[in-house]
Amino acid sequence: MAVIELFILKMFNMSSIFTTTFGERVNMEDDGVIVEVIQSIIIAPYVDPQSNWLLAIFIVILNLLTFYLLGWLIGSAFYGFGVVIGLVFIGISIVLVFIENALLSIGLGLTVPERLSSYDFGLPISIIGVVAIIIIVLWVIRQLTKKVAIKM
């Protein structure tokens, strides 16, 4: 597993120091948009539970709910439409995770990629944006599964 992690980290030239599954520390340099997307998926917005435990729990619950619903969305797309549409929905899900993490990071005042640093809004607006994403995903899941025949 560590070999695969090292390969992925080196392939995308990721910045920061990562600790792999087996405790190896890897330090890479940052190089682009793909790195920002991967980092936003791997490293969700973090609130220290020591400073505000209620907000930390709420952010974790939002992230878990989003990942659960996006997994359901991907599964529904694969089940109803096949491989090609399922792969398209994987890409859509990656974009939605990036948007959710960017909204939460901006709302919490955390560091964001340079191209997003010009945006500035509060936590309530970012939470409204995340809830809107969740509602849209639920609606799309409903549309995908409304008339799907059950395969036996």
pLDDT at 80: 86
pLDDT (average), residues 54-60: 81
The pTM (predicted TM-score) of the whole model is 0.68
pLDDT at 100: 87
- Give percent above pLDDT 90 in the chain: 25
Which tens digits make up the pLDDT trace of 86-138? Answer: 999 999 998 898 888 888 888 877 766 666 666 777 788 888 998 999 999 99
Q: What angle do CA 40, 98, 45 make, to 5 degrees?
A: 45
Confidence of residue 41 (pLDDT cuts 50, 70, 90): low
| Cα-based torsion angle of the residue sequence 119, 41, 14, 55 in order, rounded to the nearest 10 degrees | 60
Whether 40 shows a pLDDT value over 50: the answer reads: yes
Q: At what angle do helices 123-145 and 53-81 cross, to 10 degrees?
A: 20
pLDDT at 77: 93
Please state, in angstroms and rounded to a whole number, the distance separating the CA atoms of residues 50 and 28.
30
Confidence of residue 38 (pLDDT cuts 50, 70, 90): low
Nearest to 123 by CA among 56, 66, 39: 56
pLDDT at 44: 63
